[in-house]
Amino acid sequence: MAASAHERGIPLVCLGFAAALLPLVTLHLCWAVALLEGQIPQALPYWEGATSISRTGHTGTAYFLFKAGMLPAAVIGVLFWGLNGLWLERLGARGHGLRWLLWLGLIAGVALAAYTVVLGHTGDSYRLIRRTGVVLYLSLTYIAELLVSAHLRTVPGGAGSGRRLLNLCQLTLVVGIGSLIMDALAPDLHERFEDAFEWWIALLLNLAALWIAVLWRRSGFRGRGVVGSLAKPERR
């Protein structure tokens, strides 16, 4: 029997999970390696803020692991956001925001790659590239996730999924605003926990991407053909 349109084509869910998990795994692997090699203090980055994300990949074995993980993650991320536009279109979403996903992903991927390449090098120019790269990557990834959540709520069966993604985005925003408020009211305290805020934002952004990958799997997103609905099947 010939395969249905939903069953034909290359399954893309592995790429979706790689886009979400590769950066997350790389960050924590580099932290563990740097900790074992004595390159960073013995402290939990999510609570004590003693180590920035950048510092985990500055020296030692983690220097190479960071680049080996993050450079492919930058490329996969570009593909991930470009394919999200196609996925949403097949689900029935419409609007100019779908086109923006590719450009947001492309710029974010280039920014992540630039940040990764210069990590571990000293000098004002390298420091500027790192700061610009991380800000662009985090902010544009956040905007892309907001766009996906907005479009999900317009497709059949996607309201609940879009709302959950929006909740993650709102939590990310709360963490970011909390960091700014602490910096304004208690700069000394903020300096102590600034790195922890960075770790939480990176975690939440990747969890949002992971949720999108789960939705790819649920809808049966493939390289060709059509995708199914996000609506749960009715019980009989």
Asked whether the beta carbons of 89 and 53 are under 8 A apart, the reply is no
Whole-number pLDDT of residue 224: 64
**222 in helix, strand or coil?**
strand
Look at residue 177 in the predicted model and tell me its pLDDT: 95
Q: Single out the residue of 193, 178, 64, 75 nearest to residue 120, CA to CA.
A: 64
Residues in the chain: 236
Question: What is the token pair recorded at 153?
Answer: 């709520």
**The pTM is what?**
0.90
Q: What sign has the CA pseudo-torsion 61, 64, 66, 69? A: negative
For residue 145, is pLDDT > 80?
yes
What span, in angstroms and rounded, lies between the C-alpha atoms of 201 and 219? 27
Per residue in 129-142, pLDDT tens?
999 999 999 999 99
Max CA pair span of the chain: 68
**pLDDT tens column, 177-215:** 999 999 999 998 888 899 999 999 999 999 999 999 999
pLDDT number for residue 196:
93
